[in-house]
Amino acid sequence: MIRVAVYGAAGRMGAHVLEALERAADTTLSAAVDRADHPRQGQALSGGVQLSADVEAALDGSDVVIDFSLPDASLALLQSAQLRKVPLVTATTGFTPDQLAQIRSATRTLPIVMAPNFSLGVYALLELVSRAVQLLPDYEIEVLELHHSAKVDAPSGTALRIAEAAAAARARKLEDVAVYHREGNTGPRDPDAIGIQTLRAGSSAGEHTVFIAGQGERLELTHRAQSRDGFALGAVRAARWVVGKPAGLYGMRDVIES
Ligand code: NAD
């Protein structure tokens, strides 16, 4: 049995990860951690495991930790995971460039799987986008994402990753071609631009569409998460995979294809 701690366990995604761990035959929930002032502290969650704020105790009894929290909280977890040498699967999004640099630096001593989207369908979407952009080198690219109203970062980490994949397929850096906002007299579209547009409404678990448009036609590639289960299952799969791996930064490609 792989002993898995869940960080951000009382959150929307945390609940789905606990369910996925319970359903899997080879994993067990070893600890459920959330912030100290969470109203559910001390309550029994899946399998009678109590919600706790004691990260150190959680890591001591675990083979791996899955993190669905907030960027600052993830960085605090990172320090403890490094000290205790517990592999980390982080699904949190919205890191600043400085925070990303800290995570990269930690991968010199710790195996970490990080992905803005743990669903298998989004992994396939990324591969398809790269291929389509290579096949259609002169076409214009826009990424549109829709998420539930409670999401706190924008654009979604997944939209950014899709746009990065499209830019990389054209040997460009996203920061040189990204357009996040249009308003007023914008002038004609820069043909090299990659637009990234954000919608926030209702309860959607996440929808991403890539428009690849040329003269007289438009290709649209869409992924719709119909629930949060796909993210949870992918994160559990990554947790199972990363136990025993050498230090390094891994993504879903490593988890799925190696
Ligand atoms: P949420 O707000 O429902 O849950 C976050 C949880 O983290 C909350 O329970 C909160 O109390 C907890 N938390 C905050 N500070 C903490 C701390 N210091 N220590 C421990 N726990 C702390 O949000 P959510 O919808 O579950 O999403 C969480 C994160 O996961 C977001 O960044 C979201 O974008 C990301 N996400 C990633 C994927 C993916 O596949 N990579 C999928 C869905 C969501």
Q: Nearest-CA neighbor of 89 among 64, 52, 121? A: 64
For the question of residue 147 being annotated catalytic, the response is: yes
- When pLDDT is averaged across residues 233-256 and rounded to a whole number, the result is 97
234 and 199 in one domain? no
- Reduce the DSSP state of residue 193 to 3 states and report it: coil
Q: Which residue has the tokens 């205790």?
A: 84
Q: What is the pLDDT, as a whole number, of residue 258?
A: 87
Which atom of ligand 1 is found nearest the CA of 9?
Answer: 9
59 and 104 in one domain? yes
Contact of 187 with 239, CB cutoff 8 Å: no
| Cross-strand bridge partners of residue 200 | 147
- When pLDDT is averaged across residues 192-219 and rounded to a whole number, the result is 98
39 and 86 in one domain? yes
User: Kind and range of the H or E element at 89?
Assistant: strand 88-90
Q: What is the pLDDT, as a whole number, of residue 86?
A: 98
User: Could you tell me if the CB of 11 is within 6 A of ligand 1?
Assistant: yes
233 and 198 in one domain? no
240 and 171 in one domain? no
Phi-psi region of 220 (alpha: psi -120 to 50; beta: other; left: phi over 0): beta
The residue whose CB lies within 8 Å of the most ligand 1 atoms, and thus the one to mutate among 65, 67, 88, 93, is 93
Q: Distance between CA 48 and CA 41 in Å, rounded? A: 13
User: Could you tell me if the CB of 73 is within 6 A of ligand 1?
Assistant: yes
Q: What is the pLDDT, as a whole number, of residue 4?
A: 98
6 and 94 in one domain? yes
199 and 158 in one domain? yes
**DSSP 8-state secondary structure symbol assigned to residue 190:** P
152 and 126 in one domain? yes
Rounded to whole angstroms, the maximal C-alpha distance in the chain is 60
User: Could you tell me if the CB of 34 is within 6 A of ligand 1?
Assistant: yes
Contact of 32 with 52, CB cutoff 8 Å: yes
210 and 134 in one domain? yes
169 and 102 in one domain? no
Specify the number of domains making up the chain.
Answer: 2
Predicted confidence (pLDDT) per residue in 85-121, tens digit: 999 999 999 999 999 999 999 999 999 999 999 999 9
Amino acid (1-letter code) at residue 38: H
**The domain spanning residue 188 has which CATH number?**
3.30.360.10
Full domain range(s) for residue 151: 120-224
Predicted confidence (pLDDT) per residue in 35-55, tens digit: 999 999 999 999 999 999 999
Of all protein residues, the one whose alpha carbon is nearest to atom 18 of ligand 1 is 73
**DSSP 8-state secondary structure symbol assigned to residue 46:** G
Q: What is the full DSSP assignment across 218-256?
A: EEEEEEE-SSSHHHHHHHHHHHHHHTTPPSEEE-HHHHH
Contact of 74 with 95, CB cutoff 8 Å: yes
Q: Which residue has the tokens 């409670």?
A: 150
User: Could you tell me if the CB of 92 is within 6 A of ligand 1?
Assistant: yes
Q: What is the pLDDT, as a whole number, of residue 168?
A: 98
Ligand 1 centre from 70 Cα, in Å?
5
218 and 233 in one domain? no
How far out from the chain centre does Cα 177 lie?
Answer: 23
Q: Distance between CA 111 and CA 109 in Å, rounded? A: 7
Predicted confidence (pLDDT) per residue in 52-78, tens digit: 999 999 999 999 999 999 999 999 999
Predicted confidence (pLDDT) per residue in 141-151, tens digit: 999 999 999 99
For the question of residue 85 being annotated catalytic, the response is: no
Q: What is the pLDDT, as a whole number, of residue 161?
A: 97
Phi-psi region of 248 (alpha: psi -120 to 50; beta: other; left: phi over 0): left
Count Cβ atoms below 10 Å from residue 25 Cβ, excluding itself: 5
**The domain spanning residue 91 has which CATH number?**
3.40.50.720
Q: What is the pLDDT, as a whole number, of residue 164?
A: 98
43 and 107 in one domain? yes
Order of strands across the sheet with 2-7? 51-52, 27-33, 2-7, 64-67, 88-90, 111-114, 248-250
Q: In the predicted model, what is the mean pLDDT of the chain?
A: 97
Contacts of residue 241, defined as CB under 8 A and 6 or more positions apart, other chains included, come to: 113, 254, 255
